[in-house]
A and B are shown apart, each in its own frame.
Chain A
């Protein structure tokens, strides 16, 4: 019975002109979206490679220079694009792509793509994740809204009842008939994406496991929608009403709840403004050690402490350049202040994430969205990971520059110049995004919420209906 229901339903779908058209449109959308994303991906990565190489060249060819001048001159950390951003662009558009690494200061990532776009871009981009997250659930609604209501309307329900088949077999047949077309489209997309990605040369690390996991997440997301749509079709008397209810569910889950969640998250756990953030840091710095200011109170204290430690009575007698030493201490102090303030930001971010997870009760879109971005390494957490890696590199670079200055010059010798080779010997910034396993561990809660949704809707569909 499951098989014959499946075959009958599929045949009906195939014969329906509307279904053929919408199927075709979705395939076309996916093809266009993938092509656009692929082109963008290749261009962005070429630019990244070029910028990264040129910046390194600029850094290495500074010539003879005081190490601290080099520190102020600084360098850039560029964020690469990851292979799976082909499938899900996530928040990439809204985060900056380059961080300026200089002395005394932790900078935010600069130049987000969205800031360079017009207001039209806020309607959304034609990307695979748009089709996967919004359009395919809508397709499910269109294909399945009348799965049971049509039997009722055409009077075939009576015939079905007379067969004496258990309801779950009937439901399962219809379920499979809805699932197969969706599976085919998405499977095709992922296979094409996988082939495209594994044929691109030397761009990041692509592995099939991540792609497979991403596929599973989307399948789970579609399970939920198929279950809900069929459930609605079971409970409603008329096709028209079933359609309206199913659409309302889609609007609520995909549009309304995420937007409302964003407003609530923003107002409950707000970030400081950029200027506020900067002036808070400045305030903390004023009270601490200023590496540049020998007359600063903290600097005086440090001076006495070091003199005592080395048992000498003037800074000239120290075995290293005290100016550079003080600067390094100041650097460490500022790094701590930055750490404290960024920690505050991070707490706000985590609170907001918690709120999103809480509101996921109302919308399966939220956990699916977050999981998808996380696996594609295009989520906000990955951005933090990158920014933290850049900050660690900056702190190390400052330490080795100040170290060079302290060891190779005497107190007050500001005219010291490190030789031209120094810069080549400094390590280069490299960044690896979190691995799949790590991502899954940090996102367990979203995974759990998604699974609960899948299970819950399956139970709802198969166990709440005793008779048609």
Chain B
């Protein structure tokens, strides 16, 4: 019977054009999503490369200047920018701290449209002044990106729903169910088989489309690296098929099924995430950034007062005069860097509060994400792509640490009044971004399959007992 069933299904799916339509639809959607994701990653790479090139160029100039000064020649640059001064190196020749995209970055835009992917921390800037957000048209952020994650999380379930909502009801509505009921097979296993065949086709097509698309659009990613993405997608597909299976058995007519499934889609994909987000915000509210500015201002004002002299105040704003004044030559940056250190320390708890709350919210989501497979998939794809909240937090921390080591590398020159020379150039610290790896992929896939199994069991529970087939027909 199974053989007949699958043969018949395949034939009818091919004849009414479902398989062809679906392949084309999937191919089109995946192609567009791949293309968009790739474009974003390419832009990111190019931007970072351009920044490195710029630094390289300015380093060449710096080395030439250094060389001239060391050989006692007259140079035309403004005096306070001459790189024998360590602070001039620290402020006018910062390094690029770049967050290079990982191999799967094109999969999910995630938070990457909000943040910068390279920053040049200066020695005298405070960490508060490091702005990690990117300038962009907020409309793009509001609408979101048409990336692979969008196709998988939002559209794939809808395609599955369109493919499966009337598996049982259409037979009933066209009157063929009575014929089927005469066959020696239980209604549940029959629907299960039909679903299984469709599931097989969807999975096969997605596999083929993924391979095809990664051949058409060369993103430098090999198929093996795509496997985790494929695994998560598979788990998500299982879940929606299981849901459709249960709804087909429990609900009734085609339109009722469709409405029930769309309702569930709405609940899992739109409502649960936004309600959880809202609750997370209510439980762990972010402190106000505007009020933080007030605190920051008073901390800085305090620090400024401690630098008693008005000349100091003035010189802080005007390093060029600090250099002109022989008496202040050493004490200006000495005092300034010291007071900066103080402000940083004082503001640490204020800034830390934000990071802490963000972590709390993230924690809250990781505990409750199991309620909706859509959240599991979103979090997992973002983590694989390296564009999750955690990744950017990790990057921020690394950059702040790098800013500190940049300062600490140059401060000894400042305090010992030693000029920076061409030999020291080699030893300047470089930033290397350490990527996070996602270790939850397998757990996520298992969880998705487990949730899917619950759906299948729910479906099988329908009509357990005698005369179950009759119920389906007369329902």
A→B interface (CB under 8 Å): 18, 22, 36, 47-48, 50-51, 54-55, 58, 65-66, 68-69, 72, 76, 78, 90-91, 93-98, 103, 108, 110-126, 130, 134-135, 138, 142, 145-146, 238-240, 243-244, 247-248, 251, 255-256, 258-263, 265-267, 270-277, 279, 290, 292-293, 295-296, 345, 348-349, 352, 356, 380, 383, 414-415, 417
Contacts and interface: CB of A to CB of B under 8 A. Distances in A.
B205 interface: no
Given A115-B115, A263-B146, A352-B137, 8 more contacts: A51-B291, A91-B142, A116-B358, A119-B110, A120-B375, A251-B158, A258-B144, A271-B136
Contact of B277 (A47, A120, A248, A295): A120
B290 A69 contact: no
A58 B389 contact: no
B201 interface: no
B137 A48 contact: no
A69 B291 contact: no
A146 B254 CA distance: 12
Contacts of A134: 270
B138 A97 contact: no
B307 to A, nearest CB: 12
Contacts of A65: 310, 313
Q: Which 10 A-B pairs have the closest CB atoms?
A: A94-B138, A123-B273, A240-B254, A91-B138, A111-B289, A51-B290, A262-B143, A259-B146, A258-B143, A262-B140
Contact of A98 (B51, B290, B321, B379): B290
Contacts of B120: 275
B39 interface: yes
A260 B276 CA distance: 27
Contacts of B54: 279
Contacts of B158: 247, 251
Interface string B274-306: 111110110000101111011001100100000
Given A116-B354, A273-B134, A417 B310 contact: yes
B36 A124 contact: no
Interface string B124-145: 0000000111111111111111
Contacts of A260: 32, 146
B378 interface: yes
17 contacts: A18-B259, A48-B290, A50-B291, A91-B138, A94-B142, A98-B290, A110-B289, A112-B133, A117-B389, A122-B111, A259-B144, A262-B143, A266-B137, A274-B116, A275-B51, A275-B118, A295-B79
B379 A119 contact: yes
Contacts, number: 245
A119 B289 contact: no
Nearest to B110: A119
Given A116-B289, A119-B110, A244 B146 contact: no
Contact of B320 (A121, A243, A293, A415): A293
A49 B111 CA distance: 30
Residue among B136, B155, B165, B271 with max Cβ neighbours from chain A (10 Å): B136
A209 B131 CA distance: 39
Interface residue SS majority, chain B: helix
Interface of B: 32, 36, 39-40, 43, 47, 50-51, 54, 78-79, 110-111, 114-120, 131-146, 150, 154-155, 158, 162, 165-166, 169-170, 254-256, 258-259, 262-263, 266, 269-271, 273-278, 280-281, 286, 288-291, 293-294, 297-298, 301, 310-311, 313-314, 317-318, 320-321, 354, 358, 361-362, 365, 374-375, 378-379, 382, 388-389
A68 B293 contact: no
B378 A240 contact: no
B293 A108 contact: no
B155 A69 contact: no
Given A58-B297, A91-B141, A98-B293, A243 B310 contact: no
A251 B269 CA distance: 13
B114 A112 contact: yes
A290 B139 CA distance: 36
B258 A244 contact: yes
Interface residue SS majority, chain A: helix
A244 B162 contact: yes
Contacts of B379: 119-120
A158 to B, nearest CB: 20
B39 A267 contact: yes
A112 B50 CA distance: 27
Contacts of B270: 123-124, 134
Contact of B116 (A58, A261, A273): A273
Contact of A119 (B118, B259, B388): B388
Nearest to B135: A274
Contacts of B144: 122, 258-259, 262
Contact of B274 (A123, A265, A266, A274): A123
Given A54-B294, A55-B293, A277-B135, A262 B288 contact: no
Given A123-B269, A138-B266, A55 B294 contact: yes
A119 to B, nearest CB: 5
Nearest to A242: B255
Nearest to A241: B254
A146 B298 CA distance: 64
Contact of A118 (B115, B271, B274, B362): B362
A239 B254 CA distance: 8
A260 B277 CA distance: 25
Contacts of A272: 135
B89 to A, nearest CB: 17
A255 B156 CA distance: 13
Contacts of A266: 40, 136-137, 140
Given A98-B290, A275-B118, A120 B365 contact: yes
A69 B286 contact: no
A125 B356 CA distance: 22
A48 B115 CA distance: 25
Given A97-B290, A119-B382, A349-B137, A273 B362 contact: no
Given A51-B293, A244-B162, A275-B51, A145 B43 contact: no
A110 B135 CA distance: 10
A69 B311 CA distance: 10
Contacts of B118: 273, 275
B399 to A, nearest CB: 13
A202 B23 CA distance: 58
Contacts of A36: 278
Contacts of B119: 275
Contacts of A119: 110-111, 378-379, 382, 388-389
A123 B259 contact: no
Contacts of A142: 259
B260 to A, nearest CB: 9
Contacts of B139: 91, 262, 265, 352, 356, 380
A277 B133 CA distance: 13
A276 B258 CA distance: 50
A257 to B, nearest CB: 9
Nearest to B150: A259
Residue among B256, B258, B298, B358 with max Cβ neighbours from chain A (10 Å): B258
Nearest to B364: A118
B131 A274 contact: yes
Contacts of B375: 120, 123
Residue among B36, B120, B256, B274 with max Cβ neighbours from chain A (10 Å): B274
B378 A123 contact: yes
A262 B145 contact: yes
A224 B276 CA distance: 32
Nearest to B277: A120
